[in-house]
Amino acid sequence: MEQNIKQAIEQALSEAPERKFVETVEFAFTIKDVDLKNPNNRIQEEIRLPAGRGRIPSIAMFAEGEMATKAKDAGIVVIDPTKIEELGGTRQKARKLARKHDFFLSEIPHMGPIGRFLGVVLGPRGKMPRPVPPVADPAAIAAGLKNVAIVRSRDKITFHTVIGTRDLGSEALTENGMEVWKRVISKLERGSGNIRSFYVKTSMGPSVKVGVIL
């Protein structure tokens, strides 16, 4: 599989036009013969990419007081918890917020209001905040997310995940891609036998099919 993945990545990189920004490289899986109505069969994985994500993810935190200061010092974007209801009141603002950041953190007391006002936008995107206890260091949590990719099928047979940015190059992207591939098939009862199709693409480039070895 490694050679097939590498060849597909190289083809996707060569066929994607140069952009004025650094594109991400993504995998798209479509699975078969899996009952996703059963939550136990859904894929929800955090995968540490061995070659990194290629860019530092944007992390935001709902925090105030001392915790907000710690978060700012760690380079985390701080969101004023008093703005949660306002953000949730305008779907456009909430969507913009969800697109802007890769991960969210929150002090525990703000989790309820976030779920009530922003859950409908953040939840389906897999971006509900990770609760941060009072004694925890947000810098350490942010550092742990630096090279993480999220694979989340929910109840859909087709799902996507980022494996890095195109400037990482084919070798590093293949290393990351293999880590994602192995984790996904490990969660399927028949492994690669449950894969209907598997594609790789840059964020705005054409999709390239990866040959699946059963």
- Tell me the backbone φ, ψ of residue 61, rounded to 5 degrees: -140, 135
Q: Report the percentage of the chain scoring pLDDT > 90.
A: 90
pLDDT at 27: 98
Question: CA–CA separation, 48 vs 58, rounded Å?
Answer: 16
C-alpha Rg value of the chain to the nearest Å: 18
pLDDT, position 214? 77
Rounded CA-CA distance 52/21 in Å is 18
Q: How confident is the model at residue 19 (pLDDT cuts 50, 70, 90)?
A: confident
- Torsion angle (degrees, nearest 10) of CA 50, 56, 61, 63: 110
- What pLDDT is attached to residue 125? 87
Q: What is the mean pLDDT of the chain?
A: 95
Q: What is the mean pLDDT of residues 151-175?
A: 95
Residue 203: partners with Cβ closer than 8 Å, 6 or more residues away: 23, 24, 25, 26
Backbone angles phi, psi at 198, to 5 degrees: -150, 120
**CA distances to 42, 79, 214 from 181, in Å:** 16, 35, 13
Tokens of 117: 């006002």
Its pTM stands at: 0.84
Model pLDDT, residue 64: 96
Q: How many angstroms separate the CA atoms of 10 and 173, rounded? A: 9
Do residues 1 and 180 touch, judged by C-beta distance below 8 A? no
In order of their start, the domains of the chain are 2-54+147-209 (3.30.190.20), 59-145 (3.40.50.790)
Average pLDDT over residues 139-163: 93
Is a pLDDT exceeding 90 seen at residue 20?
no
Q: Per-residue pLDDT tens for 80-130?
A: 999 999 999 888 999 999 999 999 999 999 999 999 999 999 998 889 999
For residue 177, what pLDDT band results from cuts at 50, 70 and 90?
very high
Burial of 90 per CB tally in 10 Å (0-12, 13-18, 19+): exposed
The position carrying tokens 């630096």 is: 146
